[in-house]
Amino acid sequence: MLFHPAPLPADYNYQFDIPFKEINLAVNKEKNLSIVQFTVPDSICKGVVLYFHGNRQNIHRYAPYATNFTKNDYEVWMMDYPGFGKSTGKRTEQIIYDDALRLYKMARTRFSPDSIIIYGKSIGTGVSCELASIRDCKRLILETPFYSADALARHYFPVYPVRMMTKYSFPSYKYFEKIAAPVTIFHGTNDEVIPYSQSKRLMKEIRSNGELITIEKGTHNNLNDFRLFHQKLDSVLKL
């Protein structure tokens, strides 16, 4: 229900239109963590965006969004979840959290917390919220988030015991209790996958400075087509 990965062979060669560096981190004999770093020159680099993508395919699907950040002088680091792209090994909720923390620790070797932005899209918002609850960052940005995976499942299957059916909970609302960074949320009113109401519920849990950017008539996968999305994102990245 939650994940729709597209694996890639280990010798696959990425080709992107902007500068990038590929890292394959051998965590153990069975596990490789695939990371792509979209880079900007050190002379203008303001920081890094740790981008946790959605539940489909692999980094290739989300790479076009990197320019939203590199044009604002931020590097963008994307990782694939286990089973996605070149990332291998067992996939559980905790393992995904552990991988996100590995990415953060890599970023800390070059950047201070006030130069790190944590960004989540769709299923990646649950990963982002957990990471922001245990590590400091400049800002947490969420695109089409859910209150929790359980709450989303109950929306679609109200008469079933969904908590017993799913292996993943991603309780974003609980993590908000420990998130100190400012939070920016983007959500479209016509989202057909994660209802806009999920973000409205999340806003009630924010303990720090938070803002919900409502994209009228926006759907789950087209917020990047809206001028308001870019205006607000650019303004946040310039802070």
Question: Both tokens of residue 137?
Answer: 């960052």
Q: What share of the chain is helix, strand, coil (3-state, %, to 5)?
A: 35, 25, 40
Domain count, the chain: 1
Q: Say if 101 falls within a structural domain.
A: yes
What is the per-residue pLDDT for 164?
Answer: 47
Structure confidence by residue, pLDDT tens digits, 166-217: 688 999 999 999 999 999 999 999 999 999 999 999 999 998 799 999 999 9
**Entry pTM:** 0.95
Closest CA relative to residue 123, chosen from 54, 77, 36: 54
pLDDT over threshold 80, residue 54: yes
Domain annotation covers residue 10: no
Domain with 31 in it:
22-237
Give the pLDDT score at 161: 46
Tokens (6 digits) for 196? 């806009």
Measured between alpha carbons, how far is residue 198 from residues 15, 24, 46, 237 in Å?
A: 36, 35, 32, 24
Q: For residue 26, is it within any domain?
A: yes
Band of residue 9 on the pLDDT scale cut at 50, 70, 90 = very high
- Cα distance between residue 212 and residue 16, in whole Å: 32
pLDDT for 160:
47
Judged by DSSP in three states, 184 sits in: strand
pLDDT in tens, 142-174: 999 999 987 776 555 544 444 544 688 999 999
**108 domain-assigned:** yes
Check whether 227 has a pLDDT greater than 70.
yes
What average pLDDT does the chain have?
Answer: 94
In this structure, what is the dihedral angle of CA atoms 183, 188, 189, 191, given to the nearest 10 degrees?
A: -120
In this prediction, residue 48 has a pLDDT band, given cuts at 50, 70 and 90, of very high
Q: What is the pLDDT of residue 163?
A: 53
Q: pLDDT band at residue 45, thresholds of 50, 70 and 90?
A: very high
63 inside domain: yes
The fraction of the chain above a pLDDT of 70, given in percent, is 94
Instruction: Report if residue 54 sits inside a domain.
Output: yes
The total number of residues shown for the chain amounts to: 239
> 79: which residues sit within 8 A by CB, 6+ positions away?
33, 34, 35, 52, 59, 87, 99, 100, 103
Does residue 43 lie in a domain region? yes
Query: Averaged over 121-147, what is the pLDDT?
Result: 98
What CATH number did the domain enclosing 35 receive? Answer: 3.40.50.1820
Residue 1 lies in a domain: no
Parallel, antiparallel or unpaired: strands 32-38 and 74-79: antiparallel
pLDDT for residue 150: 75
